[in-house]
Amino acid sequence: MTVAASRIVHLRAGGTSVVLSSSDDSLPKIVHWGADLGEASTDELASLATAALPQRVSGAIDLPTRATALPLESEGWQHEPGLSGSRRGGVDFTPAFSVTGTQISDTSLRVEAQDAAAGLRIAVDVALGASGVLRQRLALTNTGADDYQVASLQATFPLPATAREILDATGRHLKERSPQRHAFTVGEHVRSTRRGRPGADATLLLWAGTPGFGFRSGTVHGIHPAWSGDHRISAVRTASADAVLTAGELLAPGEGLLEPGQTYETPWIVGTWGEGLDEAAGRIHDELRARPQHPASPRPVTLNTWEAVYFDHDLDRLSALADVAASVGVERFVLDDGWFRHRRDDTAGLGDWYVDEGVWPDGLAPIIDRVRALGLEFGLWVEPEMVNLDSDLARAHPDWILHPAPRFPVSGRQQHVLDLANPDCAAYLLERLDSLLAENDIAYLKWDHNRDLLEAAHPLTGRPATHESTLALYALLDELRRRHPGVEIESCASGGARVDLGILDRTDRIWVSDCIDPLERLDNQAYTNLLVPYELMGQHIGSLRSHSTGRTAPVAFQAAVALFGHLGIEADLTALSQADLDELAAWVATYKRKRGLFHTGRSVRADVIDPSVDIRGIVARDASEAVFVLTQRTASVTLPVGRVILPGLDPDVLYELALLSPGTADGPGQSPLAWLERPVRLTGRMLATAGIELPVLLPASAAVVELTAVPRER
């Protein structure tokens, strides 16, 4: 980096421009965040900043302002400030920072500023990734002589005037990521989590865009806090025509206490934009895929034993399950909950991370050897952050359990939370996990987290612990991965209750939901995929009768919905008919043949008019091939449904369409669909505009269509 004193900064990358402007020694304003502005001159950029200055209006302050990178009352900002805090008695609650240094590169900016009178120094980092993803992070240092209490420190992202509609998501266990929309009116729309993790009801991103924006149309901007603890995210529209998105950690009382010389640093806040949600999501996917630690090997087909056997661990039964799994093409066998001491149900044993001698008298070696002999990797379920009161660990170390002494908080799933910030507790967990991995041929850990945090207090001090626990979790994962770099880790949290880019920096996939019902998973997977690329999303084929909803779904429908993700199976395969096993094996083979496309291509979705229909696909980056899943959610008002478009293809490439085997689009009483009976070749432009006739499908069924580029006649 080079030191520069320019008041105009233009960051460009990945089709994105970010223009920042500052006057005098004030913190910069983001004048533009969106489409690339090209090679604009300094004078042109200065004119852009001038054109964005507001007028003084009647009844308002004499120095009108737009939001800076850290909006403050001292600048004239009359809304939620970027920094809230004070010293004892409320002193220094309204700092006024003056810039002391600026470092600029082509794609990053670091601004340092101080308020000597208030005894505070701030550093603002702005970075634009190669794919056009904008990141911001703030660091506040107490340079005063006494303590300073940070109540809130939030990054701010400006929005264009066209952003008039908000999209976020809510949910619950078994139904995460349910979308909800409303008008972006004057006022503040706040989403926060106080669960000690993002939570099943968390919105992974908060979006604002042109009214009616969809997957393929409308300018849309969204932000995400890359943090696995409590957070706050908001959309603010002011009466003076400002519109911003803000996000940061949600600090409990006392968590932001800075002694003299101490610094509080926010997590990175990630921002993306696009013409439609697909383009915006694609920027994040590209950035994640460029990471050095991103999984590079083909994502192995995984069988998890939970819904097959639950706590009934029996070597013969599990060996038989592994045999059948290998016969259908499974590549990784994961032994779920129930293998460790005292764990015959979910009321006891958590924390006692030793192999249960009563269930496994010879250790895990017999099942691992059987699995490895079949050519499968072996994986193991753990839940290191949790403890049952009925456990040797809790009896020996009640002081290792988060609780406001002398009482324990309300339990969740009959369990409590360990104090990972306690060095002795962290050392015990590291030793146990390290030993398990060193002593056994384990390639994969399913790392679970099955309850929200309540009254998460360090028992010895009574102080809030969520912030420190999150950092301690990161440290534990980092050290475990340093010692065992070849072991992959899945992040599970009551299903999808901890899905964020902070945890994904340290894990290799997330479990999308404990609900494996394919109909319920359609929205869940679509809105999770706005943040997480498919290769990091655990998507499984479950039992023919869903354990969470009771709905019955055939193998073909389940496989079609799960196909794009990191495919797995969560069912007792020994109970399936040979016909179902044969069909399952065919789908697994199809996944293996196409996973190179699924896990490198671009996710696309059609903005359908008929809510009974769902159209989503994966298009190769060179546009040479694509696969689309056409799902009939429910019965349509019309029969047939009519034409649907297949978006995201190269408009000038000619594609040949075929029904991807296995599976069938046949329904009772229907004639063959013409384009399934004979070769049909259409350009990407035709498919995205005129479309194709959707096969007549029964409700809760799908057709999978393969597109292959072919030479065009000249």
DSSP state, residue 638: S
Q: Rounded CA gap, 2 and 107, in Å?
A: 12
Catalytic residue numbers, as ranges: 448, 514
The C-alpha angle with vertex 220 and arms to 218 and 225, in degrees rounded to 5, equals 160
Backbone angles phi, psi at 544, to 5 degrees: -60, -30
Q: Rounded CA gap, 436 and 343, in Å?
A: 17
Q: Rounded CA gap, 614 and 607, in Å?
A: 9
Residues constituting the chain: 714
> Taking Cα atoms as reference points, which of 299, 177, 306, 339 lies closest to residue 569?
306
**Helices 555-562 and 578-598, interaxial angle, to 10°?**
10
> Taking Cα atoms as reference points, which of 473, 508, 495, 228 lies closest to residue 379?
508
The CB density around residue 523, as the number of other CB atoms within 10 Å, is: 18
Asked if omega into 662 is within 30° of 0 (cis), the reply is: yes
Q: Rounded CA gap, 630 and 706, in Å?
A: 11
> Taking Cα atoms as reference points, which of 453, 489, 484 lies closest to residue 468?
453
Residue 689: exposed, middle, or buried by beta-carbon count in 10 A (0-12, 13-18, 19+)? Answer: exposed
Q: CA dist 497 to 22, 204, 266, 452, Å?
A: 40, 10, 21, 9
Q: What is the DSSP string of 562-625?
A: HTTSEEEEES-GGGS-HHHHHHHHHHHHHHHHHHHHHTTSEEEE---SSTTEEEEEEE-TTSSE
Q: Three-class SS of residue 527?
A: helix
Q: CA dist 393 to 354, 355, 384, 399, Å?
A: 11, 14, 12, 10
Q: Estimate the share of the chain in helix, then strand, then coil, as percent rounded to the nearest 5.
A: 20, 30, 45
**Do residues 144 and 127 make contact, with C-beta atoms less than 8 angstroms apart?**
no
Backbone angles phi, psi at 669, to 5 degrees: 75, 25
> Taking Cα atoms as reference points, which of 620, 613, 615 lies closest to residue 596?
620
Hey, what long-range contacts does 361-367 have (CB within 8 A, 24 or more apart)?
A: 363/440, 364/335, 364/339, 364/440, 365/440, 366/315, 367/315, 367/318, 367/319, 367/322, 367/335
Instruction: Say which residues have a Cβ less than 8 Å from residue 319's Cβ, sequence separation at least 6.
Output: 367, 370
**What residues does 451 pair with on adjacent strands?**
none
- Helices vs strands, H then E, count in the chain: 14, 39
Instruction: Say which residues have a Cβ less than 8 Å from residue 334's Cβ, sequence separation at least 6.
Output: 302, 303, 304, 305, 378, 379, 380, 381, 444, 446
- Residue 632 half-sphere exposure, CB side, CA atoms within 13 Å? 23
One-letter amino acid at 707 equals L
Helical (H) or strand (E) element with 549: none
Q: Rounded CA gap, 597 and 535, in Å?
A: 10
Sign of the torsion angle spanned by Cα atoms 289, 292, 293, 299: positive
